[in-house]
Chains A and B, each alone.
Chain A
Amino acid sequence: MAGFPLKIPPQINRLILLTLGIVGSYLIARYFLTPATFGQYGWYRGAALEEIASRTPVYAGKLACDECHSEKLEMLAKGKHQTLSCEGCHGVSSQHAANPDILPVKMAGSHCIRCHEQNDSRPTWYKQIVVKDHYAGKCRECHMPHNPTEVPEEPQPADQAAKEEKQKPESPEKKPGAVEKAGKAEKAEVP
């Protein structure tokens, strides 16, 4: 075979081996790292559909709330907040719906300013406040979340509100986590 015309120079030979090594590693990695059901229905993992569908719902829905808290829902239906869901403010409640002793999952942060904090991207007709310029106390001292056009007859100091909520833990509106530190009551602009 000394006169074999296709004698490959050593550097080419080494590069071919290196290329085969790199491409081979890629193909092996691809074989192991591509999910088995990828491409079953489209450019995603087919099994993801079943996984997502098998997750237990965490929201109970307004109908479930209506079974015990119909008076709150009636009040809600009269005001500007009629389109809001209960769990949007009170937290996910499927466990609470099944067992009233389990309180809804407490949500972090203030529920009101999630929607009513000043933000340039919101329409101007939308009620907005600049939190640091607004009253520092609790929103519910001056506003009624279930019907925001109404104003509480008596300003509610925070400790009193907390006391009430402790006494009635079954009411999703009055869960202990909703109480914040409050200063003196003061009537503020309705957000």
Chain B
Amino acid sequence: MFPALATLVEGVPHFDGFVYPNELLLLWSVLIVIYPYVTGLVAGAFILASLVRVFEVKALEPVYRLSLLTALSFLLVAPMPLLLHLGHPERCLQIMMTPHLSSPMAMFGFVYAWYLMAVLLLELWFDYRKDFVEWSRSEVGLKGIMYRIFTLGVEDVSEPSVRLDARLGRIITVIGIPSAFLLHGYVGFIFGSIKANPWWGNVLMPIIFIFSAMVSGIALCVCLYMAINWGRRIPQDIVCIDMMGKFLFYALVIDAGLEGLDWVHRLYAADESIHILKTLASGKLFYTLLVGQACMGTVVPFLLLGAVQLFRKKIPTLARERMYFVSAALVVLGVFAMRWNVVIGGQLFSKSLRGFTSHKMELAGQEGWLVGLGLIILPFVILTVLLKYFLPANAVLPPRGETSAAPGHAV
């Protein structure tokens, strides 16, 4: 059986048509797929949190902290695929020591540091400062010491001080929205600026990345919020889920519209590359682009979420919850397929526009299935730890200064 299988595998051609020698093997594999995916989830989760802070969508209050902690867990993992992809990861800090302003790749270190230190951690700190002070007083042992360190020695939790925290947190969120766009728009820019590749070199690419990031981040928070509530046996807050579903639907409409516009533009402009791109979409990327991204990741969630928007009152609550969960899960997978199609798809066709190479992931190598799965699971592990210490099941939401929502169950 095995020799027959080996013959079958070897019989699969490595390429079709004309392929230049340096195009046979893909240089960017699954790690470079995971990197924009994870970064997008960070930006999307942060945008969801900003709806509470800046746009004062009070129904989303229960998911505010969860979305920020989700953003933090995924942001901590975001550079790891890049480091694992590098031949010399120990040299990574050199881009910080001798920064080269003309290299967008090198600028990632600064964009990342800004987003982590100046936006996300700062916003979390202002939001949690009062809790840190209270927990540092009530908790003992290592946990108490940890909370005391997080207070940074500021014990003032008077009314004016907490109000100042809320105001500063809001200002940081306002700065954070363009920063989240910068973080993920930059990732789209990396691809969009490669003008030699017709699949990537597209001015819409950063915008498509930003909106797909919003879609994936909101969808992930929907899934997490519902899953954590199920796990903790807390009743679902259907008002919050309805609101998240509404924003997910709007973001999906814009995202699908932009991606559709991109295709319409490509097809109508009919650049010299259009023939190979059409063959790519309907051939090598049939399952990931047409089935995964377009059908399962966009059309099905679009119909489900659209149906809920139109017939909300006629659909029972439980059915709505399930429709939201299924749609959100499909969107999360669909956006992963989108990242795969961009990164892998862009390397499958030859610059001669006359041939294709093929890509088969290894199991245990540097860019294999196991490493990829590990990187996808890791942020969830970090999030579990963060939830344990910063969003316990019995926590009650504090009234948030300027938004001053009614207390309710956290998560």
Question: Is A18 a contact of B164 with CB atoms below 8 Å?
Answer: no
How many angstroms between the C-alpha atoms of A151 and B337 in the bound complex?
55
Which A residue's beta carbon lies closest to that of B10?
A130
* Cα distance, A38 to B97, chains bound together (Å): 11
Contact A26 B96 (CB under 8 A): yes
Say yes or no: is B161 at the interface (Cβ < 8 Å to chain A): yes
How far apart are the CA atoms of A11 and B129 in the complex, in Å?
Answer: 9
The CA of A97 and the CA of B96, in the complex, are separated in Å by 46
Question: Which residues of chain A are within 8 angstroms of B156 by Cβ–Cβ distance?
Answer: 9-11
Tell me if B142 counts as interface (CB < 8 A to partner A): no
Find out whether the CB atom of A30 lies under 8 angstroms from the CB atom of B97. Answer: yes
Name the contact of A22 in the complex, choosing from B14, B15, B117 (C-beta under 8 A): B117
Decide if A29 touches B14 in the complex (CB within 8 Å): no
Question: Would B97 and A14 count as touching, CB distance under 8 A?
Answer: no
Q: Return B205 CB to nearest CB of chain A, in Å.
A: 27
Q: How far, in whole Å, are A39 and B161 apart by their CA atoms in the complex?
A: 48
Given contacts A11-B164, A30-B97, A33-B97, whether A18 and B152 have CB atoms under 8 Å apart is yes
User: Complex formed: what's the CA distance from A30 to B21 in Å?
Assistant: 41
**Chain B 1-36 per-residue mask, 1 if CB under 8 angstroms from chain A, else 0:** 000000000000011000101101000000000000
**Known: A11-B156, A43-B100. Contact between A120 and B161, CB under 8 A?**
no
Question: A33–B161 Cα gap in the complex (Å)?
Answer: 40
Q: Does A120 contact B14, Cβ atoms closer than 8 Å?
A: yes
Contact with A along B79-119 (1 / 0, CB 8 A): 00000000000000100111010000000000000000100
B123 at interface, CB cutoff 8 A: no
| Any A CB within 8 A of the CB of B165 | yes
Chain B positions within 8 Å of A34 at CB level? 97-98
Find chain B residues with CB under 8 A from A120 CB.
14-15, 19, 24
- Answer yes or no: A121 CB below 8 A from chain B CBs: yes
Q: A14 to B19: give the CA distance in the assembly, Å.
A: 59
Residue of B21, B93, B96, B97 contacting most chain A CB atoms (<10 Å): B97
Query: Among the listed A11, A26, A30, A39, which residue makes an inter-chain contact with B154, where contact means beta carbons less than 8 Å apart?
Result: A11
Q: Nearest chain A CB to B110's CB is how many angstroms away?
A: 11
The interface residues of chain A, by DSSP majority, are classed as helix
* Chain A CB within 8 A of B153 CB: yes
Q: CA A43 – CA B167 in complex, angstroms?
A: 43
Instruction: Let me know if B97 and A11 touch, CB within 8 A.
Output: no
CB of B153 within 8 A of CB of A14, answer yes
Interfacial residues of chain B within 143-173, with CB under 8 A of chain A in the complex: 152-154, 156, 161, 164-165, 168
A131 to chain B, nearest CB (A): 13
Residue among B96, B100, B122, B154 with most chain A CB within 10 A: B154
Contact check, B21 vs A121: say whether CB atoms are below 8 A apart. yes
Asked if B129 contacts A121 (CB within 8 A), the reply is no
1/0 per position for B163-189, CB-CB distance to A under 8 A?
Answer: 011001000000000000000000000
Q: Mark A1-34, 1 if CB is under 8 A from B, else 0.
A: 0000000011110110010001000100110011
Q: Which residue of A lies closest to B118 (CB)?
A: A19
CA distance A15 to B122 in the complex (A): 9
Q: Are A14 and B154 in contact (CB under 8 A)?
A: yes
Q: Shortest Cβ distance from B248 into chain A, in angstroms? A: 34
Residues of A within 8 A of B97 (CB): 29-30, 33-34
Closest to B100 in A: A43
Docked CA distance A38–B94 (Å): 12
Give the distance in Å from the alpha carbon of A26 to the alpha carbon of B113 in the complex.
Answer: 12
| Inter-chain contacts of A12 with B (CB < 8 A) | 168
Q: Mark contacts of A33-76 with chain B using CB atoms, 8 A cut-off: 1 yes-contact digit, 0 otherwise.
A: 11000110001000000000000000000000000000000000
The 4 closest A-B pairs by CB, nearest first: A121-B21, A14-B152, A10-B154, A11-B154
- Between-chain CB contacts (< 8 Å), 24 pairs: A9-B161, A10-B154, A10-B161, A11-B129, A11-B152, A11-B156, A11-B168, A12-B168, A14-B153, A15-B122, A29-B97, A30-B96, A33-B93, A33-B97, A34-B98, A38-B98, A39-B98, A43-B98, A43-B100, A120-B14, A120-B15, A120-B19, A121-B21, A121-B24
